[in-house]
Structure 1
Amino acid sequence: MSDFHYSVDADGVATITWDIENRSMNVLSMEGLAELDAHIDTALGDDAVKGVIVTSGKPDFAGGMDLNVIARMKEMAGDQPEKGLFDGIMSMHATLRKIERAGMDPKKLKGGKPIVAALPGTALGIGLEIPLACHRIIAADNPKAKIGLPEIMVGIFPGAGGTTRLARKLGAMAAAPFLLEGKLSEPKKAKGVGIIDEVVPGDDLLARAKEWVLNATDADLVKPWDAKGYKMPGGAPYHPAGFMTFVGASAMINGKTQGVYPAAKALLSAVYEGALVPFDTALKVEARWFTHVLMNPSSSAMIRSLFINKEALEKGANRPQVEDEKVAKLGVLGAGMMGAGIAYVAANAGIEVVLIDAQQEAAEKGKAHAEGILDKGMKRGKVSEAKKAEVLGRITPTTDYSALEGCDLVVEAVFEDPKIKAEVTAKAEAVLPEDAIFATNTSTLPISDLARASKRPEQFIGIHFFSPVDKMLLVEIIRGQQTGDRAVAKALDFVRQIRKTPIVVNDARFFYANRCIIPYINEGMRLVREGVAPALVENAAKLMGMPLGPLQLVDETSLDLGAKIAKATRAAMGDAYPDGDVDEVVFWMVEQDRLGRKAGAGFYEYDAKGKRTGLWSGLAEKFPQAEVQPDLITVQHRLMFVQALEAVRALEQGVLTDIREGDVGAILGWGFAPWSGGPFSWLDMLGAGFAVEVCDRLEADHGPRFQAPQMLRGMAEGAGSFYETSRGRAA
């Protein structure tokens, strides 16, 4: 079974077609790289071959590197993983450099064979690095195609020459959005910035590629950086303009990453140092920095959580073994922001949707929410008029529950009130087919309690979306005490259809995500009550890689919602309720009408457009700042451990059953320090022994919420880790 297929036509043009069997998208493996290398050797060694087209047998060119390869490189190198990685990366450079030089005389730069990349669709990561080594890149005019180097998003950077080639092709400044931010472009825009050379109609792609090969001259084959007198666009680091570019880029990286993402700094180092030396040396510099990043535990954890584990969950790693349960017709009860968002993502994925609300006007408003999202997409050139009409045509807004007839899944998204939820459950089940699955979208209410209103509790499940639905990738599926496997499979298949990432958890108050994020928010408010400067609280969180400080996060979610959750939790827990100190802050803020961003006043001040203008100085009047402030590390430990320990308790209590879901869910659900790979990866990175030491110290100083769970303490005593346990090995 081959990944690459080789053929030569009557005109002497060889075609290397990338087409991996039984995969929808090409990804590069080490075996595939060896095949490509051998085919290039064959073409260059055959006098009858005039040139080469590298293309794909699939609608897209390639989705990148199989990142499992990195783990294999390390394993194969035994006690020298750095050497194994470096040698493996240099073998990629050797193949791509062979394509680039194409048999030409190294001194005269003549006699090479033209090699063109013909891209029918998406080309990402190594799927763009290979074309960048070719002499010309021609792409099909496919607006759905994505061209780019997104490696930075999973904690690495383009390490097969993409960093060096793109920086030298475009200049450091122009290449920065594509390298440092992982920006993706459709083909015409990619041509506009100079990443690719031509865009042609899809039907003409191979013909145009062949035409170029047969007419290419020696000069067409010489890359700018191989030509005499090459100067880097925008200036090299020692040029005044180039110097300022790198100063600005360094400031931008530190501003965006707060110094906790090693890949971004390493990438900039590779570009900077590579620009000071000849091209082949620059490739070695890139390989060394890439190896450095791959050996960093942060990058390993990010790759594991954001690529390997995320992909496994999206493919149904924990799906019950039942038949296909894709959704054909969806009912959504409640057309507020959440229900409207669910209706949009489902319709956008091709599912027929019935959107029900108590008032027709409200139902229509829910559909209008979808129209607003599509209009924004049209302004950005992402959505056509026909696509908009098609999506909106799938949404039927109504007050009539009989419209639910034929729905195989219903998602209820009404107010967080058990009585209202029970009423709509009964109304819906009265007209739904016997085999329909009923899902409730709730963030706090136990599913098993809500299922009492259902005639078929085994077909009742929780599906917790995060707001805004169209942007948030995570969906939390909650299995109630009586929920059956078929309901779980239905929910997972639905989440896959709408192209989001699912985690499956067992029923408990707050489930998984909220039980971890609420303590983070609460700890921030506790610190303020204790007299810690709000700026220290917020910046301590951001310096740990949290996207939002706890005070900003509670402003975004609203303080009156926090007050409602606090009252409901206190009623449910009674004397065991642990957050009385926090309530003092929350209820006082609500009394001051400082409800958060939506009210234009919260822990932060806001201007007329809703933009934050700074922390509210009035906090100090109620909660005076202490003369002696705690050190940064202590504040960070409090904010991070309060989340991570709750994640461990969720695993210990069986709410979580798979640490992969715990790590992926934490990053996608509430932004837990993505550089860490998630709370379980972070604790493994710290080491259980050290983590328990910190817990014991925090518990002594601040109370039982920092008590180390027995699972963590057991690992400390046995020198184990989460990813070495039976659960971890399954990951």
Structure 2
Amino acid sequence: MTTSFLYEKDSDNIVTVTMDMRGSVNAINDEFIDGLRSSLEKLAGEADLAGVVITSAKKTFVAGGDLNDLVTAQPGEEHGVFVRTEEIKALFRGIEKLPVPVVAAINGAALGGGLELCLACNYRIAVDSKAVMVGLPEVGLGLLPGGGGVVRLTTLLGFEKAFPFLIEGKKLGAAPAVAAGLLHETVADQEALLPRAKAWILEQRGNELAAVQPWDVRGFKIPGGGEEQPSIRQAIVFYAAGLRKKTRGLLPAPEMILDIMVETLRVDLDTALRIESRQFAQLVTTPEAKNMINAFFFQMNQVAGGQSRPKGFEKSTVSRLGILGGGMMGQGIAMSAAMVGISVVIKDVTMESAEKAKAYSEKGLAKLIQKGRMTEAAAQDVLARIKPSISNDDLQGCDFIIEAVFENVELKHSLTKSTESCLAEGGVWASNTSTLPITSLSGASSNPSNFIGMHFFSPVDRMPLVEIICGAETSEETLAKAFDLARQLKKTPIVVNDSPGFYTSRTIGTPIQEAAQLIAEGINAVRVESVGKSVGWPVGPLALQDEVSQKLSLDIIDAQISMGLSKAEDDPTPQGTALMRCLLTEHKRGGRVHGGGYYEYTEAGKHIWPGLREMYFNAEVDGEVNDQDIRDRLLFRPVIESLVCLETGVLRTVADGNIGSIMGIGAPAWTGGYLQFINTYGVQRFVDRCRELEAKYGKRFAPPAIVIDKAAAGELFQ
């Protein structure tokens, strides 16, 4: 018996192994290996064993592999990772080879290694509860399921049905998981779980196949067929092409997973498991995996867990929220708030506009109903929480008011003065501005300590990030309340200090500006966009500028100059800015919403506007600049801007910078965030490359002092 795995045998000769590891969760680590090995050794000595139930004493079943172990693996240590992975797999295979049926009794989340353990059991029963979630989400951390998940799921479901669970990391609740074939049945509650598991074992008396995995039965064929099937061969080619287009070859994990899936169709199970171990060992030591583990697990937990939330303040909850402005941002905030049970007043200048804002939620909820993710009754409850209004009286007693009108200082000041008094005692006023300094906006407030910035991202109901901005007088209590509201809205909040554009807006603009500068210098616009896509952004920099709109970008530049926040002569890319002004004023090309910008938009699709080549292309210049310089110019600009934000105190933590860049402005996942990119690129190497770019293209590429100091000290950004 071990302290981690409790071993109990009942009068029916059924052994229940209950995982109860040290700490809050069960995780696959040395303690797990020792506990499972000890249990299997004891089971081997049972003469009259009828069956085995594996369950958990924790709220979760098994949380998966211990990422603290995985992230320490370095290049050159692949063999050690392989041996350890094979050790775990041998234990799972040992479960499959037991001469009696084994049931996984799943009481909570079984993700990653947790589901891999379940797949090694003959039967899988789960409580029909929101706490139960099953899946193999490793791809989201830059990893692949290394405990047999790729092989067993492909073998169990077939190539095509397994694809979304492995390549996309799709997760399911208990009932949907039964329908998908991952689980066998559910029970109503926790009390029924073990009795039902034992009852199933007793029902299998005389059924020799109950203790044999399907793939160990002679003559077994993978559902849907193997690679010899024409439809499967076509699917492999189709999925491989789609995957390459999506990842651009920058993410090794999905491609490795697909490779293992294909090998599973070709070879026996044990050989496929060994191939999976080799691929896993190779993947774990890659910089992409380390970057993604660091960002999406460790730093995400730091940020969402409240690293930047002031201590000493009780958790607050908003019950009544006022929103000023029913445009794209306001309507999205309203829907997000109503979805989590907050009563919302959305005020606009006309009732027609306010009703239109509520209609956005109605359309969004209808889509959820259509997809089976919400009932009609639940949707009506959400809509009932949203009150359109044109009267300040309806804002009385709001715990929080969020102003979400367009970027005009005078308008924002007038709204603050006219509605701030509607707040309940201790209420907070927030501006959804994306660029205007909070300290300046709070000048119209009678209580600037209760004034804060909450920059949401569009579309609000789908984008997970909120950038919280503290003005010079914003109190710690106000920050705590804003942080709590963001979490209540199920958003991930980063906290930054005040400056024009804050962190995300000023950083997202840099590759856009650099792309304009490149075109103005004579580089082919099609080439700029193509190389830009190779960085791994969701869209190229020219397409992104069209979505943001050239007009809005120029309006922001001009507003900051007029407010004295910047000077025209300090523009780091003056030729690019002049190009945008020319497009807007002389050619009426202000962005997609204005009919076109860098791109022409037609019913058949979109293409780069030919006028760019006619006006700016210089074959000689284009031939002198290599793709690597273009790529680095586009990528290094937001990285350098992130460093400046960290150096000047706009960014409070490295974690906020990495999470904010990935979740808010599309930093490629393989980088782990713009600051983490420097760590794996090499801090000194980054400084050297910056100096090369500075010598060729200007002082905007000069390495900030903070990175020079890190390089000299041999330190990383952590």
Does the TM-score normalized on the shorter chain lie above 0.5? Answer: yes
Report the AA paired with residue 638 of structure 1.
R
Instruction: Confirm or deny: 8 A CA contact 2:133 2:174 kept in the other structure.
Output: yes
Change (3 A) 1:60 1:334: farther
Change (3 A) 1:32 1:587: same
Instruction: Confirm or deny: 8 A CA contact 2:525 2:613 kept in the other structure.
Output: no
1:272 lines up with 2:293 in the alignment: no
Instruction: Confirm or deny: 8 A CA contact 1:466 1:474 kept in the other structure.
Output: yes
Instruction: Confirm or deny: 8 A CA contact 2:598 2:612 kept in the other structure.
Output: yes
1:512 lines up with 2:503 in the alignment: yes
State which of 436, 446, 462 in structure 2 corresponds to 1:471.
Answer: 462
1:670 lines up with 2:658 in the alignment: no
Change (3 A) 1:80 1:527: closer
Change (3 A) 1:180 1:503: same
Q: CA deviation at 1:489?
A: 1.1
2:89 aligned partner:
93
State which of 657, 667, 677 in structure 1 corresponds to 2:652.
Answer: 657
Q: Describe the superposition over 1:528-577 as per-residue Cα deviations: whole angstroms up to 9, x where unpaired.
A: 22222222222212212111111111122222212211221333322323
Change (3 A) 1:586 1:20: farther
Instruction: Confirm or deny: 8 A CA contact 1:68 1:308 kept in the other structure.
Output: no
Report the AA paired with residue 667 of structure 2.
F
Q: CA deviation at 1:276?
A: 4.0
How far apart, in 2, do the equivalents of 1:690 and 1:152 lie?
Answer: 29
Instruction: Confirm or deny: 8 A CA contact 1:600 1:607 kept in the other structure.
Output: no
1:331 lines up with 2:322 in the alignment: yes
Secondary structure of residue in 1 paired with 2:70: helix
Secondary structure of residue in 2 paired with 1:370: helix
State which of 619, 631, 638 in structure 2 corresponds to 1:626.
Answer: 619
State which of 381, 394, 400 in structure 1 corresponds to 2:385.
Answer: 394
Change (3 A) 1:282 1:371: same
Report the AA paired with residue 16 of structure 2.
T
How far apart, in 1, do the equivalents of 2:521 and 2:208 lie?
Answer: 73
1:170 lines up with 2:161 in the alignment: no
How far apart, in 2, do the equivalents of 1:40 and 1:394 lie?
Answer: 55
Report the AA paired with residue 156 of structure 1.
L
1:606 aligned partner:
601
The 10-residue stretch of structure 1 (411-420 or 353-362) with the greater mean CA deviation from structure 2: 353-362
Alignment of 1:84-233 (within 5 A): 84-102=80-98, 112-120=99-107, 122-141=109-128, 146-199=133-186, 201-202=188-189, 205-216=193-204, 217-233=207-223
1:298 lines up with 2:285 in the alignment: no
Q: CA deviation at 1:120?
A: 4.6
Gaps of 5+ in 1: 103-111, 723-727
Q: CA deviation at 1:166?
A: 0.9
Instruction: Confirm or deny: 8 A CA contact 1:117 1:134 kept in the other structure.
Output: yes
The 10-residue stretch of structure 1 (322-331 or 646-655) with the greater mean CA deviation from structure 2: 322-331
1:557 aligned partner:
548
Gaps of 5+ in 2: none
Secondary structure of residue in 2 paired with 1:117: strand
The 10-residue stretch of structure 1 (189-198 or 372-381) with the greater mean CA deviation from structure 2: 189-198
How far apart, in 2, do the equivalents of 1:6 and 1:364 lie?
Answer: 61
The 10-residue stretch of structure 1 (304-313 or 689-698) with the greater mean CA deviation from structure 2: 689-698
Change (3 A) 1:84 1:495: farther
How far apart, in 2, do the equivalents of 1:458 and 1:692 lie?
Answer: 40
Alignment of 1:558-573 (within 5 A): 558-571=549-562, 572=564, 573=566
How far apart, in 1, do the equivalents of 2:617 and 2:548 lie?
Answer: 25
Q: Describe the superposition over 1:672-731 as per-residue Cα deviations: whole angstroms up to 9, x where unpaired.
A: 111111111111111122212221221122211111111222333444332xxxxx2xxx
Change (3 A) 1:241 1:394: closer
2:276 aligned partner:
286
Alignment of 1:363-442 (within 5 A): 363-442=354-433
Secondary structure of residue in 2 paired with 1:477: strand
Q: CA deviation at 1:467?
A: 0.7
How far apart, in 1, do the equivalents of 2:574 and 2:648 lie?
Answer: 24
What is the total number of aligned residue pairs between the two structures? Answer: 707
How far apart, in 2, do the equivalents of 1:19 and 1:164 lie?
Answer: 28
State which of 342, 349, 352 in structure 2 corresponds to 1:358.
Answer: 349
Report the AA paired with residue 484 of structure 2.
D
Q: Describe the superposition over 1:206-232 as per-residue Cα deviations: whole angstroms up to 9, x where unpaired.
A: 444333211222212222332333444
Q: Describe the superposition over 1:211-266 as per-residue Cα deviations: whole angstroms up to 9, x where unpaired.
A: 32112222122223323334444444466655444433332322211111011222
1:646 lines up with 2:641 in the alignment: yes
How far apart, in 1, do the equivalents of 2:377 and 2:27 lie?
Answer: 32
1:14 aligned partner:
15
Report the AA paired with residue 11 of structure 1.
D
Q: CA deviation at 1:339?
A: 1.3
Change (3 A) 1:428 1:30: farther
Secondary structure of residue in 2 paired with 1:433: strand
The 10-residue stretch of structure 1 (114-123 or 657-666) with the greater mean CA deviation from structure 2: 114-123
How far apart, in 2, do the equivalents of 1:535 and 1:187 lie?
Answer: 48
2:67 aligned partner:
67
CA RMSD of aligned residues (A): 2.7
Secondary structure of residue in 2 paired with 1:502: strand
Report the AA paired with residue 360 of structure 1.
M
Q: Describe the superposition over 1:621-673 as per-residue Cα deviations: whole angstroms up to 9, x where unpaired.
A: 33235354432211100100011001011111111121111111111111111
How far apart, in 2, do the equivalents of 1:429 and 1:20 lie?
Answer: 52
Q: CA deviation at 1:6?
A: 4.5
Q: CA deviation at 1:587?
A: 2.3
Secondary structure of residue in 2 paired with 1:137: strand
Secondary structure of residue in 1 paired with 2:709: helix
Instruction: Confirm or deny: 8 A CA contact 2:517 2:573 kept in the other structure.
Output: no
The 10-residue stretch of structure 1 (516-525 or 89-98) with the greater mean CA deviation from structure 2: 89-98
How far apart, in 2, do the equivalents of 1:532 and 1:221 lie?
Answer: 66
Secondary structure of residue in 1 paired with 2:422: coil
How far apart, in 2, do the equivalents of 1:345 and 1:43 lie?
Answer: 51
1:584 aligned partner:
578
Instruction: Confirm or deny: 8 A CA contact 2:264 2:272 kept in the other structure.
Output: yes
Q: CA deviation at 1:342?
A: 1.1
How far apart, in 1, do the equivalents of 2:445 and 2:153 lie?
Answer: 58
Q: CA deviation at 1:294?
A: 0.7
Secondary structure of residue in 2 paired with 1:182: coil
Secondary structure of residue in 2 paired with 1:435: strand
Q: CA deviation at 1:439?
A: 1.4
Secondary structure of residue in 2 paired with 1:367: helix
Secondary structure of residue in 1 paired with 2:402: strand
Alignment of 1:46-57 (within 5 A): 46-47=46-47, 49-56=49-56
Q: CA deviation at 1:315?
A: 0.8
Instruction: Confirm or deny: 8 A CA contact 1:357 1:363 kept in the other structure.
Output: yes
State which of 526, 536, 542 in structure 1 corresponds to 2:527.
Answer: 536
Q: CA deviation at 1:36?
A: 4.0
Instruction: Confirm or deny: 8 A CA contact 2:517 2:577 kept in the other structure.
Output: no
Report the AA paired with residue 613 of structure 1.
K
Q: Describe the superposition over 1:485-510 as per-residue Cα deviations: whole angstroms up to 9, x where unpaired.
A: 11111111111112211111111111
Instruction: Confirm or deny: 8 A CA contact 1:274 1:286 kept in the other structure.
Output: no
Instruction: Confirm or deny: 8 A CA contact 1:28 1:66 kept in the other structure.
Output: yes
Q: CA deviation at 1:523?
A: 0.9
Q: CA deviation at 1:332?
A: 1.9
Report the AA paired with residue 97 of structure 2.
R
How far apart, in 2, do the equivalents of 1:164 and 1:128 lie?
Answer: 13
Change (3 A) 1:460 1:19: farther
Change (3 A) 1:13 1:406: farther
